[in-house]
A and B are shown apart, each in its own frame.
Chain A
Amino acid sequence: MASHATTRAYLGVFAALAVLTVLEVAAVKTGLPKRTLVLLLVSLAVTKAVLVALFFMHLRWETRVLRWMVAVPLATPAVYGVVLIAATIAKRMPA
Chain B
Amino acid sequence: MSASVIAEPLAAPTGHAPVHTSVAFPRDTLFGAATPGKIAMWIFLVSDALSFSGLLIGYGILRGGSTVWRHPGEPALGVNFTAFLTFLLICSSVSMVMAYSAALAGDRKKTALWLALTILGGLGFLAGQMHEYFGFFPGFPTHPLRGLVGEGLIPGHSAYASTFYLTTGFHGCHVLAGVVYLSTVLARVLSGKLDGRPGAVELAGLFWHFVDLVWILVFTLIYLIP
Contact = CB atoms under 8 A, between A and B. Distances in A.
A24 to B, nearest CB: 6
A41 B225 CA distance: 7
B100 A4 contact: yes
Interface of B: 4, 30-34, 39, 42, 45-46, 49-50, 53-54, 56-57, 60-61, 64-67, 79-80, 83, 86-87, 90-91, 93-94, 96-98, 100-101, 104, 202, 205-206, 209-210, 212-213, 216-217, 219-221, 224-226
Interface of A: 3-5, 7, 10-11, 14, 17-18, 21, 24-25, 27-28, 34, 37-38, 41-42, 44-45, 48-49, 52-53, 56-58, 62-63, 65-66, 69-70, 73-74, 77-78, 80-81, 84-86, 88-89, 91-92
B220 A24 contact: yes
A70 B42 contact: yes
Given A41-B225, A56-B212, A58-B202, 15 more contacts: A10-B94, A45-B216, A49-B217, A56-B205, A62-B31, A62-B32, A62-B34, A65-B30, A66-B32, A69-B42, A70-B42, A73-B50, A74-B53, A77-B54, A85-B57
Contacts of A5: 97
Contact of A92 (B33, B67, B94): B67
B209 A88 contact: no
B54 to A, nearest CB: 8
A15 B100 CA distance: 19
A88 B65 contact: yes
Dominant SS among interface residues on chain B = helix
Dominant SS among interface residues on chain A = helix
B220 A81 contact: no
10 contacts: A41-B220, A41-B225, A45-B219, A56-B93, A57-B205, A57-B209, A63-B34, A74-B49, A80-B57, A92-B67
Contacts of A3: 4, 33
Contacts, number: 130
Contact of A11 (B31, B66, B94): B94
A77 B53 contact: yes
Contacts of A7: 98, 101
Contacts of B104: 4
B194 to A, nearest CB: 17
Given A63-B34, A85-B61, A52 B213 contact: yes
A74 B61 CA distance: 18
Nearest to A46: B217
Given A48-B216, A52-B212, A66 B64 contact: no
4 A-B pairs with the lowest CB-CB distances in the bound complex, closest first? A45-B220, A77-B53, A81-B57, A85-B60
Given A62-B34, A80-B57, A28 B217 contact: no
